[in-house]
Amino acid sequence: MIYRNSAFHHACAALIAAAFCPGQIMAQQSNGLDIIPLDEITVTGSGLPTDVMNSASSVTVVTADEIREIPPSSVANLLVDVPGIRVTESGIERIRIRGESSQRVAIMIDGQRISDHTTYGTPILISPTEIDRIEVVRGPSSVVSGNRAIGGVVNIITKRGADKPVEVTATAGYLGANDGYRGALSLAGTSGGFDYRLSYSKSDLGNRETPTGPLVPSGSSDRDIQAFLGYRFDNHYIGFRAQDYDLSADVYTGDPDFDISLPKRDLRKYAVFYEGADLTPWMSMLKVDAYTQTIDRQFRNDITFAAGPFDMNVLATSDDEQVTSGFKAIANLEFAPGHRTVVGLEFEDDSMTSDKTTTTSMIPPVGPATVSNLYSDATIRTASAFAQHEARFGNGLTGTLGVRYYNVKSNLDQYVIDGVAQPGQNNSDDRFLGSVGLVYELAPDAVLRANISQGYTYPSLSELYLTSTGGGGTILGNPDLKPETATNYEIGARLDRGAVVLDAAIFYTQSEDYIASIATGIPNQYQYQNVNNVDSWGLELAAEFDPGLWGGIRPYVVLSNVTREFSYASGVVTRDSGTPEWTGTAGLRSDWAAWGVNGTWDLFLRGESRASQRDSTGVVVDETAGWTTVNLRGSVALQENIDLTFELANIGDKSYRAMDQIEGAGRNLSVFLTAKF
């Protein structure tokens, strides 16, 4: 059955209207934990410390308190209920924002971007147990956040030291969706001016269990080791962080003759930073950081298909190394009352070596197999400077104006095909981007806001220069590609009156020069080209209401509507973009206490409307029905230092598939126990 938009709305309304019987559990008054923590401070949206309530951008902060009440099965599980966000899967979970692919979403750890040059998009290379909070900016935000921020930004802020000399934390949990586990152990503390943290995390997930049976293969595993050391003296703070992260995954294809695996997606990172506060009467903050990271990626694609009287087997492997070094300096300046300015310089050197081998053979054998090898070494260097000024006026109006200048140069330094060196190639771009925002305070607990912002995505090294083989086809790079750009217009409102919390926005985004793989006229051969323009519009709503009745039970809703219209160079114009128009979560939740313990519970519906995707010829290449699942999440404070979190997902054991994902897991239970000493 296909759930149309109205059906999804009716289901949400039914859940909100439903009563929840706690039995012997006695509900308490809410502690004020909201889906929209409007008092949380964020710097990702504007570069200046600004609480969410007064940000001109569409910002959501997933706080440390919220993270503690969600089973840490994955980072995506912490973000899935943020308005405008969808999780996609291709062996590794990735993030879409407002329908934009993960290639157009900047994923950052402590403000430093994770580099990626694949067509799949940027993965999240960190354990969920190491996250302190997550700041999400929806919509183009390249003025403050840099490249690959057309869809938005996900900035993951990691944990540092504890507030006592020695603190040991252990987490262990079972993940029923994959019959797997995740465990973590950390040692943290503060002594004198020093604070430190050492941590180890590991997960091992089997094949996904669905109502129709296991998906074989679809397992994954990761291991994360982190070390942090900081030192504070006077109003200065310096720190060092090291990370060693390993990830491997199998991609479920549903075809026994088509195998995709990611044996390695490993990250090694070293970062240093300095933070200075109130260094002069006019400089409230100075931040400087530098990092270097190496991502080792292995890819294996094995496909067999009919070719006349024989079968043809194509085995494609790729062994890539991405090395990224970056530097950033940001200063917050306050020269006059009511005025704040952030200025910054940023430089990134992003290189990749790639060794690709394709072996083609006939079954049964007809002569020797054909082996082709491609080796490449390419680099992108990006230098940029940005500034954003904020001015407060006496009538409750705050305005922001920002600009960033980009200078990007890329080079294919070495390209060897079957031992024969090819000519070098290059590409460059420089441009200015801007943003302007307004926030009008109707009352201390209510604001209106408006924002115009631009986004920018420079082509990846794969899109510019490399030849890739997969799924029986070959995609050629194009050194003449232009960057993708976008301009976003939005207005919104926020309200925080204790019993009622609301954050709503409507937006319209114009995007140009989208890059897509287009057939060259040679069978099974494609090339990247700037051919698509996209218009997107919609609304986002997050609201929670405490009626003061029902023992503190609070209804809430998170709802997103996105319509995307693709205009292809072929003349095809379609709104079948592969993005469901409606996605959302609606539920009831409360705090509780009974038998000497306390905790939280959250009963909710999660779902999305139908979706379909047409290619540049107008042919539907994928289609999914709408779906809704019923879920229960909760936490229990067993003792002062021992907490239990759980989630019973897809209680109705519904069989469904979301767009860009494999079939959803059936009824499953995740349980985690965390002890802190």
> Which tens digits make up the pLDDT trace of 140-165?
988 988 888 899 999 999 999 999 99
Please state the φ and ψ torsions of residue 162, each to the nearest 5 degrees.
-95, 175
Q: What is the C-alpha to C-alpha distance for residues 562 and 506, in angstroms, rounded to an integer? A: 10
Domain total of the chain: 1
pLDDT digits (tens, 9 = 90+) for 233-270: 999 999 999 999 999 999 999 999 999 999 999 999 99
Give per-residue pLDDT as tens, 641-661.
Answer: 999 999 999 999 999 999 888
What pLDDT does 471 receive? Answer: 65
Tell me the C-alpha distance between 610 and 627, whole Å: 8
Q: Give yes or no for a contact between 412 and 378, defined as CB atoms under 8 angstroms apart.
A: yes
Gap between the Cα atoms of 476 and 467, Å rounded: 5
* Out of 39-48, 352-361, 386-395, least confident range: 39-48
pLDDT of residue 28: 34
Rounded mean pLDDT of 381-396?
Answer: 94
Torsion angles phi and psi, residue 9, rounded to 5: -65, -40
Question: Is the previous residue joined to 217 through a cis bond, with omega within 30 degrees of 0?
Answer: yes
pLDDT of residue 3: 35
Residues near 365 by beta carbon (within 8 Å), at least 6 away in sequence: none
Maximum C-alpha span of the chain = 82
Average pLDDT over residues 278-287: 96
Which residues fall within 8 angstroms of residue 639, CB to CB, at 6 or more apart? none
pLDDT band at 33 (very low <50, low <70, confident <90, very high): very low
The answer to whether residue 25 scores a pLDDT higher than 80 is no
pLDDT digits (tens, 9 = 90+) for 505-515: 999 999 999 99
CA distances from residue 664 to 208, 370, 659 in whole angstroms, order as listed: 8, 39, 11
Residues contacting residue 17 through CB under 8 Å, at least 6 positions apart? none
* Residue 435 pLDDT greater than 90, yes or no: yes
For residue 231, count other CB atoms closer than 10 A to its CB.
14
pLDDT tens sequence across 610-620: 999 998 889 99
Average pLDDT of the segment spanning 311-329: 95
Residue 215 has pLDDT above 60, yes or no: yes
**pLDDT the model gives residue 77:** 87
pLDDT of residue 549: 82
For residue 558, pLDDT over 80 is answered with yes
Predicted local distance difference test score (pLDDT) of residue 37: 67
What's the CA gap between 359 and 148, in Å, rounded? 34
DSSP class of residue 549 equals -
**Looking at residues 6-32, what average pLDDT do you find?**
34
d(CA 354, CA 373): 10
pLDDT at 414 (0 to 100) = 95
Nearest Cα neighbor of 456 from 52, 103, 179 is: 103
Question: Could you tell me the CATH number of the domain that includes residue 69?
Answer: 2.40.170.20
**Where residue 24 falls among pLDDT bands split at 50, 70, 90?**
very low
Per-chain mean pLDDT for the chain: 90
Distance from C-alpha of 123 to C-alpha of 222, rounded to nearest angstrom: 13
pLDDT at 5 over 70: no
Q: How far is residue 576's CA from residue 563's CA, in Å, rounded to a whole number?
A: 9
Give residue 45's pLDDT. Answer: 77
DSSP secondary structure code for residue 28 in this structure: E
pLDDT class of 309 with cuts at 50, 70, 90:
confident
Task: For residue 120, give its domain range.
Answer: 5-676
Q: How many CB atoms lie within 10 A of CB 596?
A: 7
Of the chain, the percentage scoring pLDDT greater than 70 comes to 94
Average pLDDT over residues 583-597: 93
Summarised one tens digit per residue, pLDDT across range 62-71 is 999 999 999 9
pTM: 0.91
Q: Residue 574: pLDDT above 90?
A: yes
pLDDT in tens, 444-500: 999 999 999 999 999 999 999 988 876 667 899 999 999 999 999 999 999 999 899
Measured CA to CA, the distance from residue 677 to residue 667 in angstroms comes to: 34
Would you state the pLDDT for residue 36?
57
Higher pLDDT, 535 or 569: 535
Nearest to 663 by CA among 262, 177, 118: 177
**What's the confidence (pLDDT) of residue 6?**
38
> What letters, b where the CB count within 10 A reaches 16 and e where it falls short, cover 359-392?
eebbeeeeeeeeeeebbbbbbbebbbebbbbbeb
